[in-house]
Amino acid sequence: MKGEVEKCVNCGFCESVCPTLPASGFRSTMGARGRVDLGKAFIAEMNNAGGSELKISDSFYSCLDCFACLQVCPAGVNAGKVSGIGREIAAIYGQHALEKPVARMIVETTMKFMNPLGVREKCAGWAKGLAFDSDSETLLYTGNMYQLMAYSSSLGKLKMRLGEKAADFMAGIISRHPAAARLSGMAVDRRMRRQMDAFLRDIYFLLASAGLKFNYLGVDEPYPGTFIYDLGYRDKFLEYGRRIISIFRYHNVRTIITVDPHTYDILNVQYRKYFSDFDFRVVHYLDYLRDVRFAGNGERVTLHEPCHFTLREGNYSGPSELVSGLAQLTFPERSGKRTMCCGGPDELLFGEISGKISEERFSQLKSTGAERIITACPICFANLRKDRTVIDISQFLVERLEAGAVPKSS
């Protein structure tokens, strides 16, 4: 953290793009510069007293890790990285992590059930009746991400109704008794589940149209551990990641097809960083569709670019490349390296902030005058679906498949 915060020249450019600052009512510690300043103060206290009494929880845990601040900082400071290190320190010292019982609940439940809400078996329901190649070394890996949105959406609303204290009390109980998390399976947005299941089936159909054969682990498919890493529990992430790699090895996997930006990013970047034997090929499903025959039209659409594609390492541009060839693609004012987060990562911990951010981003997308808004991330879809004009890119592509479409090269 020290090396990152000491680069800061306190210019404030980062505050012009940080989505949590205005959404929090301009609380200084809830913005990018405030997080860096808090990091400086935290280091000073640790050096002088060997501990800290600073209330770092709300500041560091509310950071969306969108990395928008890094794109405009002349000194190259990443407040998202500062927040990540702050969460890691909080997890190690314990007393600060306990201020966010929901975070600890998610981690403990994931460690026990390999799913943040203990609903791994239910996450396989979308694939009922579909055929997979169990001998294939290519794995379709959903990581449970699309499926979890139906539960997190309902739980976010429930948390808002119960209030912070009651929700934290329940989360504290579940963190000590993770089996109780299975009750969360009763809190599900059924309409959202139908939509997410349909998107996953669209993805399956698109890959089949590309002539691809692949396996799927069904009820045995584990969550990749993204929350464990994002919430700063590094030791648990190392333990959990080793379990994930063992599962891939057991099923003779060589190529992993991911379907969302968060799983694509954590496998391609963090797993390769922390596990020297993570030698699997990681591909996003859109990369297999470049030779599939689609029919374009004159529909005017806009695309919400996911932070984990546009602002992270690699700058994956698969969604915009495919969509731009099939419709009139227009972008909102905040796009490219200045794209704005949907607010989704804050839904369970800071629901009010998340809601304000999603409303602002939805307004920006609607202002383009596009007929439809296309998302390429299940979290973004869940947060931005304010009306029926918001769709997932898989639905958009299936609509444009030519009859009997097969790869042009075949």
Domains and CATH numbers, the chain: 2-99 (1.10.1060.10), 102-288 (no CATH), 290-399 (3.40.50.1860)
pLDDT score of 242 more than 90: yes
pLDDT score of 90 more than 60: yes
d(CA 400, CA 405): 10
Q: Which of 40, 3, 55, 87 is nearest to 345 (CA)?
A: 87
Of 126-135, 253-262, 290-299, the range with the lowest mean pLDDT is 290-299
pLDDT score of 18 more than 80: yes
Give 404's pLDDT tier (boundaries 50, 70, 90). Answer: low
What is the number of other CB atoms lying within 10 angstroms of the CB of residue 85?
Answer: 19
Q: What is the pLDDT of residues 171-189, one digit of tens each?
A: 444 445 445 445 555 568 8
Give 97's pLDDT tier (boundaries 50, 70, 90). Answer: very low
Of 22-26, 83-87, 235-239, 243-247, the range with the lowest mean pLDDT is 83-87
Give 247's pLDDT tier (boundaries 50, 70, 90). Answer: very high
Check residue 385 and give its pLDDT. 95
Q: What is the pLDDT of residues 358-390, one digit of tens each?
A: 999 999 999 999 999 999 999 999 999 999 999
- Tally of CA atoms within 13 A in the half-sphere of 97 that contains its CB: 23
Residue 144 CA from chain centroid, whole number: 11
- In the predicted model, what is the mean pLDDT of residues 19-40? 93
Of 5-9, 203-207, 260-264, the range with the lowest mean pLDDT is 5-9
Contact by Cβ (8 Å): 327, 298:
yes
Check residue 98 and give its pLDDT. 41
Check residue 173 and give its pLDDT. 42
- In the predicted model, what is the mean pLDDT of residues 30-44? 90
Q: What is the pLDDT of residues 134-172, one digit of tens each?
A: 999 999 999 999 999 988 765 555 444 445 544 454 444
Question: What are the distances in angstroms from CA 147 to CA 9, 39, 108, 270, 349?
Answer: 43, 35, 20, 23, 19
Q: What is the β-pairing status of strands 300-303 and 372-375?
A: parallel
d(CA 243, CA 73): 38
Q: Which of 346, 272, 260, 348 is nearest to 306 (CA)?
A: 260
Contact by Cβ (8 Å): 324, 366:
no
Mean pLDDT of the chain: 87
d(CA 23, CA 160): 16
d(CA 209, CA 285): 12
d(CA 259, CA 40): 38
For residue 197, what is the enclosing H or E element? helix 190-209
d(CA 196, CA 190): 10
pLDDT score of 51 more than 70: no
Contact by Cβ (8 Å): 31, 15:
yes
For 125, the 3-state DSSP assignment is: helix
Contact by Cβ (8 Å): 319, 303:
yes
pLDDT score of 72 more than 80: yes
- The residue length of the chain stands at 410
- In the predicted model, what is the mean pLDDT of residues 323-333? 96
